[in-house]
Structure 1
Amino acid sequence: MARVAFQGERGAYSEMAALQYFPGATLVPKKSFSDAFSAVEEKKAGFAVIPVENSIEGSVGEVYDLLAGTRLAAVGEVHQRVRHCLIANRGVKMGDVKVAYSHPQALGQCRAYLQKKKMQAMPAYDTAGSVKMVKEQKLRDAAAIASRRAAELYGMEILDEGIEDRKNNYTRFLVMSPAKKLPKSDGSYKTSIIFSVKHVPGALFGILGEFAIGRLNLTKIESRPTKETPWEYNFYVDFEGHAADAAAKKALAAIRGRTSYLKVLGSYKKAESA
């Protein structure tokens, strides 16, 4: 049975994504994203399921920084529907709640709701962890934003459900493992790469042009500071296809000489459409 690390407490959306991808797995909750990566790198778990972007709030910057430094490979992808609940201790009424605790991404996804209800948004490290904290501290003027599953696990009361500002709310997760061999391609794969460009005019344009020449569809491009040299960036690109496919191999070979750094994070089967 697979051991799968995730960030957060039981009931977190990361746990739900892990169970969706690995039904019946032994789940290993970790305090931070870094701890989840380390659990796999240190062979305390075989996989980690890590959120990389949300359809409303965008990319998880900390995770992208970790992807640049990890030895792990991306071997899978899963989309998790996010439906937020306002969760409080039993007996607490909506009018009692002055503060809402949750992960910053969840708070951002419920920004308009919280403003309408005149509740102060208070960041915490995890959605389900916020529910656990509100319960353990017996807070009567605060609630947490998390999943229905978290409310049920901790025996808490749901004051409101579906409070996200946009109902088409999904989080995309990558499945990370120490796998070295790329799985065989069957035409339904995506590949993730990381690169930095040389400081010459048109460098990024030239690199992206190679994907256009190969008719490779880019599904995402993200830039993050390298953290080493001011105003230098790593670019994170996802494209449709497998790194072992002829068109992808040709494009990757062509851009290698145009980059100062290139890392193929992995090829993996595309998640089913949300």
Structure 2
Amino acid sequence: MSTPIAADARHRIAYQGEPGSNSHLACQQRFPDLEPVATASFEDCFAAVESGEADLAMIPIDNSVAGRVSDIHHFLPTSPLHIVGEHFLRIRFALLGIPGATLDGVKTVHSHVHALGQCRRVIREHAFTPVISGDTAGAAREVKEAGDPTQAAISPPLAAEIYGLEVLLDDVEDEDHNTTRFVVLSRDFEQAPRGNGPVVTSFVFNVRNLPAALYKALGGFATNGVNMTKLESYMVGGEFTATQFLAEVDGHPDDPPVRRALDELAFFTTEVKVLGVYPADSFRAG
């Protein structure tokens, strides 16, 4: 695990979804001593930290199967919150039914649209009819409330414990590498110290509308030997000529190579905003 984040001063951590979701599980794994706070949407999750209702937020940002969580990439650049940590969670789904339900009796399977897409094999093999729910844990709650043995949920195993369901099948996800990366957000900018283990620096920037501007902007990272682990783009304000990039690099801004690369980046951009400088999770070394 990465270096703990001032846990003695923390009490609550917000996540999007219902109890029993993967985000809930990530909170339990990373901060077992904090009280998890469920929120209905990502906006509510961000707002809980901004208002002081929660001290931290656990936010999914990428999945090894589904790719990036697009909403988060739009919230981060304008949010006053800062990335202070990361956590990688191996995603495991189970097929859950009410007590007494049998696998042969299941007709419909409920889950979030992404979870259904990540568990196509079991759905196809058993000829289940997929039903989209708003949340994987919410699907488990809905199945329990319905009390119908022909309905099942594809949900994290934690949801079975919370909602009193039985596991009909374990590990129903298609890919055994299914992993979600979460970032931990805080109101305070807590920069990881230099020289105390691997560090990740996350930042956003807007390139100038000039020929080869992106090529020139990124050239400094190559010439200074800085490893860029993420580069994603999206439009700003609906304008096709204005593109914003989210980038992550290995290293600390005070490391001379990273500092030189960021200085060079500034020449070819209209804005550079550092979102966080935080310890790299040990999963990266895996």
Normalised by the length of structure 2, the TM-score is: 0.90
Counterparts of 1:105-254 in structure 2 under 5 Å?
A: 105-185=114-194, 186-230=196-240, 232-254=242-264
Once residues 236 and 147 of structure 2 are traced to their aligned partners in structure 1, the CA distance between those partners, rounded to angstroms, is 42
Selected match of 2:11 from 2, 5, 10? 2
Kindly indicate whether residue 70 of structure 2 is the aligned counterpart of residue 61 of structure 1.
Answer: yes
Is the deviation greater in 123-132 or in 221-230?
221-230
Tell me whether 207-216 or 219-228 shows the greater mean CA deviation. 219-228
Change (3 A) 1:135 1:209: same
Deviates more, 1:45-54 or 1:144-153: 144-153
Mapped partners of 1:243, 1:138: distance in 2: 55
Question: Aligned pair 1:259/2:269, yes or no?
Answer: yes
Partner in structure 2 of residue 32 of structure 1: 41
Q: 1:208 to 1:139 in 2, by over 3 A?
A: farther
Give the RMSD, CA atoms, in angstroms. 1.6
SS in 1 for 2:282: coil
CA distance in structure 2 between the aligned counterparts of 1:117 and 1:204, rounded to whole angstroms: 49
Q: CA offset at residue 135 of structure 1?
A: 1.1
In structure 1, the partner of 2:112 is 103
Q: TM-score, normalized by length of structure 1?
A: 0.94
> How far, CA to CA, are the matches of 1:99 and 1:63 in structure 2?
31
Q: Is the 8 A contact 2:24 2:36 kept in 1?
A: yes
Is the partner of 2:218 in helix, strand or coil? helix
Listed one character per residue, the Cα deviations across residues 181-233 of structure 1 (whole Å, up to 9, x for unaligned) are 42212241001111222221111111221111121111122222324313643
Question: Is the 2:85–2:183 Cα contact (8 Å) retained in structure 1?
Answer: yes
Q: Which residue of 1 aligns with 2:4?
A: none
C-alpha separation in 2, matches of 1:36 and 1:250? 35
Residue in 2 aligned with 1:17? 26
Secondary structure at 1:230 match in 2: strand
Letter of the 1:266 partner, please give it. G
In structure 2, do the counterparts of structure 1 residues 124 and 224 end up closer, same or farther at CA, with 3 Å as the change threshold?
Answer: farther
Which one of 47, 51, 66 corresponds to residue 42 of structure 1? 51
**Does the CA contact (< 8 Å) of 1:187 and 1:241 recur in 2?**
no
**Match of 2:281, SS?**
coil
Name the % identity: 36
**Structure 1 unaligned residues grouped into runs of 5+:** none
1:268 paired residue number: 278
Distance 1:233 1:90, change over 3 A: farther
Q: Contact (CA 8 Å) 1:12, 1:126: kept in 2 or not?
A: yes
Aligned to 2:94: 85
* Code of the aligned partner of 2:131: M
